[in-house]
Structure 1
Amino acid sequence: MDAGPGSGRHGDLSGTATLAGSGGVPVGAGPVNVTVWERHARARIAAGDLLRPPGPPRFSWTRTGTGDPGAALLGDVTGKRVVELGCGTGDNLAYVVDQGGARGVGVDESPSQIRRARARWPGFDLRCAGAARFLLTDSEPIHVCYSVFGAVGLMPAVPLVTLIRRRLTVPGLLAFSVRAPGRVRATPTLRGTRGRWYLHSPQAWTRLLCNAGFSDVQTRDADTAETPTTLIVTART
């Protein structure tokens, strides 16, 4: 997760409401997770982040780059509508658009993360919304949906992947990276607040994705073979 903040109150970022047709999934990632990322983004903005030009865009699924398949995991996205749930600063999305030729949409619930992304990548389609709210209100076809330590993993999995499956075209692709079970930390820890993760084993992810209507589910550990800290998952419609 990486325009501007609304009222500036963390209470306005709770994302705990649900929408009709969402299967009970919250429209956003919940108060703890959104607050963590909002504080992180505001700290970066205060440090002058909006004034720094971005480097060339690159795509990463992992924190370390070790064992990272990069944007190749998404396949040929030329001309396809690609949605990132939890786009953060938009660097991955920029790569998919500039290098891959996709029609990219970045979605993030943190207003300050979206503010950072818009400063880095002006003219991109960047939406400040919870993942479920976006999926339920957006009407255009989605060919590829991905999340890099974003909405998938920070929200209850079953209702969210069910919504994604409903919105993806056939054929379509869902790809995401999440904390591997047992990982100590993958989100910023500020003032003693740590994000909440919904962790699942590779077998559990495979089962719940198949139950949601996906096929050809693939999982892989990344970072290091000895101590994997990132789990990468793909599933097709």
Structure 2
Amino acid sequence: MASGKWDRYAERSPSRRLVNAGGASTWFNWTQYPDHGPGLEVLNLEPGVRVLELGCGKGGNLAHVDAMGYRAVGVDVSALQVAHARSRWPHLNVVQGDAAAYLEGGDEPFAAVYSVFGAVWFVDPEVLLPAINRRLRGTLAFSWSPMNVVPTLPRWDLEAAEWGDRLDKHGFVDIEHREVAPPADGEGGQPTFLVRATRPA
């Protein structure tokens, strides 16, 4: 996927706040709403394991994974997004490149792979899911929302059953789908869809 379109998207997307409502400098968020929804617990992580984010953007969620003591790696196709992430968190392991190519280019496994409005939504699942399966030894989780519109870029807006079929086809089990409603005090808003599955050991 060409990074130029993603660089243009990065120029329009806002930077993450310096702290959340509780004053924390790093935090994990699956939704597009501040301080809302589930967090890192979705990934069921054991201490110190390797975790991969596909489409890490400016690195906010990845920074929290790292701060919690996990060995975090992020991949993003946009050179501008990667530059933002490295500028704010110079110690993070952030790679600029295509998600599927990164997965196919190595062998070291990850205990979890996740994507927040990221590569799992924007890369053909017939290409990306087998690549994830090859490197994963635990939980895959990803989120997307109809509110998060990126014109001119292909997306896989699949229904829950369709995602389930694709994940099952490519060897994932314990497939779960949940809809996270927007904050009750918000005006309108769109839900966030969150899928979780595992790869058998």
Fold shared, TM-score > 0.5 on shorter chain: yes
Runs of 5+ in structure 1 lacking a partner?
1-29
- Matched residue, 2:22: none
Which is bigger in relative contact order (C-alpha 8 A, separation at least 6)?
A: 1
Equivalent of residue 110 in structure 1, options 66, 70, 78? 78
Report how far residue 157 of structure 1 moved. Answer: 1.2
1:41 and 1:232 map into 2 onto residues whose CA distance is 23
| 1:35 matches 2:4 | yes
| 1:60 matches 2:29 | yes
- Matched residue, 1:235: 197
- Matched residue, 1:176: 142
- TM-score, length of structure 2 as denominator length: 0.85
| 1:164 matches 2:132 | yes
Runs of 4+ residues over 4 Å off in structure 1:
225-228
Question: Cα distance 1:149–1:118, how it changes in 2: closer, same or farther (>3 A)?
Answer: same
CA contact (8 A) 1:66 1:222 kept: no
Q: What does the per-residue CA deviation read over 1:181-201, in whole Å, with 9 as the maximum and x for residues that have no partner?
A: xx2x4145xxxx443311100
1:81 and 1:154 map into 2 onto residues whose CA distance is 23
- Matched residue, 1:211: 169
Higher Cα Rg: structure 1 or 2? 1
* Aligned residue pairs, count: 190
RMSD over aligned CA atoms reads 2.5
Q: What does the per-residue CA deviation read over 1:66-122, in whole Å, with 9 as the maximum and x for residues that have no partner?
A: 8611111112342110000000011101111102x1100010010010000000111
Question: Cα distance 1:39–1:156, how it changes in 2: closer, same or farther (>3 A)?
Answer: same
Equivalent of residue 48 in structure 2, options 73, 79, 83? 79
2:11 and 2:133 map into 1 onto residues whose CA distance is 33
- Matched residue, 1:91: 60
Report how far residue 162 of structure 1 moved. Answer: 1.3
Report how far residue 228 of structure 1 moved. Answer: 4.8
- TM-score, length of structure 1 as denominator length: 0.73
Runs of 5+ in structure 2 lacking a partner?
20-24
